[in-house]
Structure 1
Amino acid sequence: MSGKSEPIATEQIAVHPRSGWIRLALLAVIAAALLLAPQFLYPIFLMKLLAFGLFAAAFNLLLGYTGLLSFGHAAFFGGAAYFTAHAVKVWGWPPEAGILLGVLGAAALGLVMGAIAIRRQGIYFAMITLALSQMFFFFCLQAGFTHGEDGIQSVPRGRLFGLFDLSDTMTMYYFVLAVFILGLLIIWRFVNSPFGMILKSIRENEQRAISLGYSVSRYKLGAFVMSAALAGLAGGVKALIFQFATLTDVSWQMSGEVILMTLLGGIGTLAGPVVGAGLVVTLQNYLATSDFPVTIITGVVFMVCVLVFRRGLIGEFFASKLGRKIGFRAEN
């Protein structure tokens, strides 16, 4: 027996020579499907799917790329919905200004909550975010401008930039689609920037990142605020889609739903949370009028996906031979 160690055999998957063209073709098909979808499906359902897809992608920015599990993201989503609805209905602001206020308000909430929560790690971090989110929930229950359990209703959509009438369903759909694409592009650029690379190193080995001289707390807080702001963007758009903001938007169940969406699709992927959100929203939409209990069916689907697709639906595809042959990675 020799003293030399035997090399470990690893499976090498050759990347398809036209993998770039294949991915571009897939993106073109998806873009065409999104543009033509309102001709075949209910536009309000599609807008809800896009809004929650952006919400899940924003949450994944924190969980999938930074490794921080938050149980309080409903505070940013619902808080922005309240801020946007109040500004548009009571103050008469145009929709773009109302959404901007929602994003800024969610970012401010994220700054305060993140500064407190990042002092702890693991389950303690998650519990602190949950506690702070519940505090905000009771604030929304008691505050005068939220109208308690009635919420803010009959929110006018207004005219975008004074030109486009968002009361028209198709105009509203394409506006939501544009916001959705913009949000995903921001997340993609953020993840693939030097800042995003440092976040991934913190996720993989926080102690080593500290030893290299990085201020880990600042990077975590930056990711938390960015995730909160993008969740607020989704919340502000949601308030205009359904023309109301209620306590459901800030409840702990909403935080649970976005975690479920992200895990179903696959954490650490750009498309995974969107697919997970689409699955959950579709189940809720088509089972709402049936005799099947939606929560039980969703729970069964979640258990099956956890047992069969450990990385999530998209995560498993990217890890498969076909996904690697096309050139996909977990960060795609």
Structure 2
Amino acid sequence: MSVTTQTTYTSASQAMPIGTPRHHIIIFAVLLGLLLIAPFLLYPVFIMKILCFALFASALNLLLGFGGLLSFGHAAFFGSASYVTAHAAKVWGLTPEVSILLGTGSAAILGLLIGALAIRRQGIYFAMVTLAFAQMVFFFALQAPFTGGEDGIQAVPRGNLFGVLSLADDRTLYFVVLAIVFGGLLAIYRIIHSPFGQVLKAIRDNEPRSISLGYKVNRYKLAVFVMSAALAGLAGSTKSLVFQLASLTDVYWTMSGEVVLMTLLGGMGTIFGPFVGAAVIVTMQNYFASFGAWVTVLQGTIFVISVLLFREGIVGVLSKWIKKPL
């Protein structure tokens, strides 16, 4: 290791926070406490939808907010995992945990294949490449015989977790989903605050300098792309069991747009921003459903207002006010 690289690595290590900040521990504890009592106060399926999309948005935020890579095709991983999990549970009769693992694994493999090609481009070209691949996945889902075409895969059985715990009850399933999503959020938090995460931020901020210091930039980009794809797949797999459905909506380009909106609205590059963004968008879709197609107009209006008033996102502005990272 060269002297320059070693000095830079030492500086980066010293810049890393020692231990988890106290306010982050408090936020995680309060969030977990609220989520534990939520199914007794609100409709469990509604909360589970927020949780699934919060994980999905957090997966994209790992790539966009900390890796600096804008993907317009993340629905490919979310939707493909949803289809694989639904098919494994319904056709193959596998248990839910195995079905979710298969869905997550398939998303990771797809992320490896797409990422290996996409990272050769930068900026808007990277985004367009991911969108092109996502459209290929969409047309595959539309034409493949085992995906059900426009009908999708319906009546997906929730099954018994580890062959013992029945997930037929919404509240029972809720706590399983909570464990999966909260575990995913903690994994993302650990990745961000690891030496790997510090290098990602360096690449995001100044890629040419990172290359000059000897870092294999494309390897880091590919690694974070695969991680993000796998976590998006975990969200899609979980969602297919919650709603017992895998449909073309999961792989359509508008799904990629929605998750980008959630990330930007909550606060790109923040820990808790995607969760807030997902909660806002899903709540709007749920309570404004009676407006029909006007929901998208309302979403666009609120997004424009939020961008004008909260340029760094809701959590980003809050973080700026209290002068602490969120």
Q: With the length of structure 2 as denominator, give the TM-score of the two structures.
A: 0.92
Gaps of 5+ in 1: 1-18
3-state DSSP class of the match of 2:246?
A: coil
- Aligned to 2:145, the other structure's residue is in SS state coil
Letter in 2 for 1:72: G
Distance across 1 between alignment mates of 2:191 and 2:164: 31
Distance (Å, rounded) in 1 between the aligned partners of 2:292 and 2:255: 23
Per residue, is there more helix in 1 or in 2?
2
Task: Give the corresponding residue for 2:299.
Answer: 298
The CA deviation at 1:20 is 6.0
CA separation of 1:303 and 1:215: change in aligned 2, threshold 3 A: same
Following superposition, the deviation at residue 24 of structure 1 comes to: 4.2
- 1:247 and 2:268 aligned: no
Deviations 1:78-117 (Å, cap 9, x if unpaired)?
0000000000000000000000001100001100110111
Distance 1:69 1:22 in 2: 29
Q: How does 1:152-301 map to 2 (within 5 A)?
A: 152-290=153-291, 293-301=294-302
1:85-164 correspondence runs (5 A): 85-164=86-165
Question: How many residue pairs get matched?
Answer: 307
3-state SS in 2 of match to 1:66: coil
Asked if 1:318 corresponds to 2:316, the answer is no
Paired-residue identity, %: 60
1:7 aligned residue: none
Alpha-carbon deviation of 1:191? 0.8
Residues 125-149 of structure 1, C-alpha deviations (whole Å, 9 max, x = no match) = 0000000100111011111110110
C-alpha distance in 1 between matches for 2:299 and 2:165: 38
Using the alignment, how far apart are the partners of 1:187 and 1:25 within structure 2?
17
One-letter amino acid matched to 2:134: S
Which string of whole-angstrom CA distances, capped at 9 and with x for unpartnered residues, describes residues 206-235 of structure 1?
Answer: 000000001100100000000000000000
Aligned-residue offset at 1:157: 0.2
**1:60-71 equivalent positions in 2, closer than 5 A:** 60-71=61-72
Compute the displacement of 1:29 (Å).
2.7
Q: Distance in 2 between matches of 1:22 and 1:213?
A: 35
Q: What residue number does 1:32 align with?
A: 33
Change in Cα spacing, 1:49 to 1:105, as seen in structure 2 (3 Å) is same
Larger Rg: 1
Distance 2:185 2:144 in 1: 33
Cα distance in 2 for partners of 1:216, 1:22 equals 32
Cα shift readout 1:276-330 (whole Å, capped 9, x = no counterpart): 000000000001124681101110110011001000000010111xx22xxx21x
- How far has the Cα of 1:75 moved from its partner? 0.2
Q: Distance in 1 between matches of 2:102 and 2:292?
A: 40
Closer, same or farther in 2 for the Cα pair 1:136/1:20, shift >3 Å? closer
- Quick one: structure 1 residues 40 and 143, their matched pair in 2 at CA, closer, same or farther if it must change by over 3 Å? same
Partner of 1:14: none
CA distance in 1 between partners of 2:109 and 2:320 (Å): 37
Q: Which moved more, 1:21-30 or 1:119-128?
A: 21-30
Q: Distance in 1 between matches of 2:27 and 2:66?
A: 24
Structure-2 change in CA distance of 1:141 and 1:21 (3 Å) = closer
What value does the CA root-mean-square deviation take over the aligned residues?
1.4
